[in-house]
């Protein structure tokens, strides 16, 4: 029976691919994913780069291929269930069997790098949501907050300072985790507000 597999590929390096992800991709007839996700796999099967300008159409195409009897894999950066592609695909799906292969989220890797027990932290994603004032209450609950910013950590830091959060509050940014040019910057919220970071970043507010 054909199936749609949603496969978490981890933060980006091959070192964080799971055996389960590799095995499922080996069963695929067609693989959908971003360029950096597709580049992780050496396979001769058809690869289709996801159209970021029309992601929903790409997901419908993947579901359609699965409905036509093919084993289809959609690659999801990090874990599909956290700020990933699982939610929109479930909304679109009517009758295709789906299996989810979890991956290692950049949030988990960030917590490991900074030695934060992440079951004792606030875990927040702003991807596609923009900055909400709700974050102010979260920041003030005395737990470390591990945040996937919408795009720029600097903008979030500036927003927090402008809305009364102490500019000297301890903060860190984990940038391009698992890549050769990975960078971890620790300092104050004000320090972060004055720096530029790659969009592949996680920010922590202590």
> Region 30-39: what's the mean pLDDT?
95
Whether the per-residue pLDDT at 118 is higher than 70: the answer is yes
Q: How far apart (Å, rounded) are the C-alpha atoms in residues 150 and 126?
A: 5
Residue spans of the domains in the chain: they are 4-101, 106-205
Asked whether 184 and 171 are in contact (CB, 8 A), the reply is no
The 10s digit of each residue's pLDDT in 73-117 is 999 999 999 988 999 999 999 889 999 999 999 999 999 999 999
C-beta separation of 47 from 31 below 8 A: yes
Q: Are 78 and 109 in contact (CB under 8 A)?
A: no
In the predicted model, what is the mean pLDDT of the chain?
94
* Stated pTM of the model: 0.89
Q: Which architecture does CATH list for 4-101?
A: 3-Layer(aba) Sandwich (3.40)
pLDDT higher than 80, residue 141: yes
**Residue 164 falls in which region: left (phi positive, over 0), alpha (psi -120 to 50) or beta:** left
- Selection from 1, 65, 10 nearest residue 32 by Cα: 65
With 70 as the cut, is the pLDDT of residue 46 above it? yes
Q: What is the pLDDT of residue 175?
A: 97
pLDDT in the model for residue 94: 87
CA distances (Å), origin 61, targets 50, 67, 72, 90: 10, 10, 10, 14
Query: Once rounded to an integer, what is the mean pLDDT over residues 172-187?
Result: 97
The CATH number, out of the four listed (3.30.950.10, 3.40.1160.10, 2.60.40.10, 3.40.50.1370), of the domain defined by the range 106-205: 3.30.950.10
């Amino acid at each position: 029976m054909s199936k749609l597999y949603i496969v978490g590929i981890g933060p980006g390096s091959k070192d964080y691919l799971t055996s389960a992800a590799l095995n499922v991709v080996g069963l695929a007839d067609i693989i959908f994913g971003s360029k950096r996700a597709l580049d992780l796999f050496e396979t001769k099967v058809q690869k289709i780069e996801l159209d970021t300008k029309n992601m929903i159409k790409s997901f419908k195409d993947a579901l359609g291929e699965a409905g036509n009897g093919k084993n289809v894999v959609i690659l999801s950066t990090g874990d599909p269930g956290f700020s990933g592609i699982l939610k929109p695909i479930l909304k679109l799906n009517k009758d295709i069997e789906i299996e989810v292969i979890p991956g290692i989220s950049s949030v988990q890797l960030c917590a490991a790098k900074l030695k934060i027990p992440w079951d004792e932290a606030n875990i927040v994603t702003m991807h596609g949501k923009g900055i909400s004032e709700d974050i102010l209450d979260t920041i003030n609950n005395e737990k470390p907050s591990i945040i996937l910013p919408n795009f720029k950590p600097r903008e979030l830091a500036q927003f927090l300072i402008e809305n009364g959060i102490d500019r000297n509050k301890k903060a860190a940014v984990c940038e391009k985790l698992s890549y050769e040019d990975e960078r971890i910057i620790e300092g104050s919220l004000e320090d972060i507000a004055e720096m530029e970071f790659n969009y592949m970043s996680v920010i922590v507010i202590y």
